[in-house]
Amino acid sequence: MKTDVYFVRHAQPDFLVKDDKIRPLSEKGMEDTKKVTYTLIDKNIISIYSSPFKRSIDTIKDFAESTGMEIKIENDFRERKVGEWVEDFRAFSQKQWEDFDFRLDNGETLREVQERNISALFKVINNNLGKSVAIATHGTALSTIINYFNPSFGYTDFWSIVDKMPYILNFRFNGMEFEYIKEIEIK
């Protein structure tokens, strides 16, 4: 029984808004939501899940409205909690990828991000066996999911997708067993 999960990394956000939870999409990001809809419309998706963060919800909202589906908010698909605003994001990210247990005060480790995202993913798969679903997510959260299934995926790979917004990956499962990941070209 094949299950397809389409992870949709949010479109370009407005980086002037520092609050991670309410950061909206930029003008370009809003325009790109139509491309997400166009790319997903023929994928036989029957359910949509999203991180609770505004930029993820807004990225998948046009698709949800176009198909008449509701967006199910799943708190565990949220982005990593950094703990404080980081000016040198590249150095911070590298340190986290080199040490999956590194965190700033009040922040999360990549291991914690991975564990909660993988747990949420397996619940979604279990509830949608043999079907196709979309999950609106974030760059770091998605990268930890990729790393779970492909442990060689690390900092350099993460950094290669940092500017891909939106970004869509198809994860295929046979029952609960992982088969592959492939990038979906955004039309």
CA distance 26 to 111: 30
Task: Give per-residue pLDDT as tens, 121-166.
Answer: 999 999 999 999 999 999 999 999 999 999 999 999 999 999 999 9
Q: How many CA atoms lie within 13 A of 15 on its CB side?
A: 7
In CATH, 2-184 is 3.40.50.1240: yes
CA distance 97 to 148: 13
Q: What pTM, to 2 d.p., does this model score?
A: 0.96
Task: Give per-residue pLDDT as tens, 79-89.
Answer: 999 988 888 98
Q: Using the predicted structure, report yes or no on whether residue 55 has a pLDDT greater than 90.
A: yes
Cα-only R_g, the chain: 16
